C-alpha cells in the first residue's frame, strides 16, 4: 500500500470525536453540601471579610426595596446627622441586622444550591460593609471602645491558646 492510499483511509480514534455536552448543561439545582455550607459560613464570619467589599446598589430588606449604596453615601457625606435622620439611620440599621440574620439562617439551614449560597454570602458581606459604614457615624466613647477592644483581644488570645494546646471545645476544660 502506498503512502497516498494510507492517507485516504478513515482515521479511527479510541474515543468519539463528538462530545455530548448535555451532561454539562444545568438540569436542576444540586443542594449545597455540608462542607460547602461550612465554607460559606466561614467566609461570612471571617474577620476582614468586608475589606474591599462593595455595598450593594439596592437590596430588599423586610420586603422593602432600599437603595443601600445611595443611602449610605448620602448619610456618610454629612458631618452631623439631624435627629430626624438619626431615627431613619437607626431603623435602617435594625432592618439590615434582621435581614443579615435571616440570610445567615438561610445559609445555615435552608435548602439552597451552592451558587445561591454564594450570592447570599456576597449580599451578607455587602450588608456588613454597609453596617460598618453606618456604625462609624456613632459618636465614639473612647473608654467603652477601649474595653471592647481589650475584650476582643482577650477572646482571640484565648481561642488561639485553646487551639494551640488542643483544647478546641469547652468540654475538654471540664474534664480536668
Highest mean pLDDT among 46-50, 137-141, 157-161: 157-161
DSSP state of 53: P
Q: What is the pTM of this model?
A: 0.58
Q: What was the pLDDT predicted at 54? A: 77
Domain boundaries, the chain: 29-138
The Cβ of residue 25 has, within 10 Å, a number of other Cβ atoms equal to: 6
Percent of the residues in the chain that have a pLDDT greater than 70, as a whole number? 72
C-alpha cell at 13: 480514534
Note the pLDDT of residue 140.
44
**54-94 pLDDT, tens digit each:** 788 888 877 888 888 888 888 878 766 666 777 888 888 88
Nearest alpha carbon to residue 126 among 75, 53, 49: 53
Identify the band that residue 151 occupies on the pLDDT scale cut at 50, 70 and 90: very high
**Beta-ladder partners of 59:** 66
In this predicted model, what pLDDT tens digit does every residue of 21-50 receive, in sequence order?
Answer: 444 455 467 888 888 888 888 888 887 777
Amino acid at each position: 500500500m502506498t503512502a497516498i492510499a494510507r492517507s485516504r483511509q478513515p482515521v479511527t480514534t479510541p474515543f468519539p470525536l463528538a462530545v455530548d455536552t448535555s451532561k454539562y448543561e444545568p438540569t436542576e439545582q444540586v443542594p449545597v453540601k455540608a462542607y460547602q455550607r461550612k465554607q460559606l459560613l466561614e467566609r461570612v464570619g471571617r474577620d476582614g471579610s468586608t475589606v474591599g467589599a462593595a455595598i450593594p446598589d439596592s437590596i430588599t430588606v423586610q420586603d422593602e426595596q432600599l437603595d443601600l449604596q445611595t443611602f449610605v453615601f448620602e448619610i456618610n457625606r454629612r458631618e452631623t446627622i439631624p435627629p430626624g435622620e438619626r431615627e431613619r439611620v437607626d431603623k435602617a440599621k435594625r432592618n439590615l441586622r434582621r435581614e443579615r440574620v435571616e440570610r445567615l439562617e438561610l445559609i445555615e439551614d435552608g435548602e439552597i444550591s451552592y451558587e445561591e449560597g454564594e450570592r447570599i454570602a456576597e449580599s451578607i458581606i455587602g450588608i456588613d460593609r454597609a453596617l460598618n459604614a453606618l456604625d462609624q457615624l456613632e459618636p465614639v466613647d473612647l473608654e467603652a471602645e477601649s474595653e471592647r477592644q481589650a475584650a476582643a483581644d482577650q477572646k482571640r488570645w484565648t481561642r488561639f491558646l485553646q487551639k494551640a494546646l488542643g483544647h478546641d471545645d469547652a468540654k475538654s476544660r471540664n474534664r480536668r
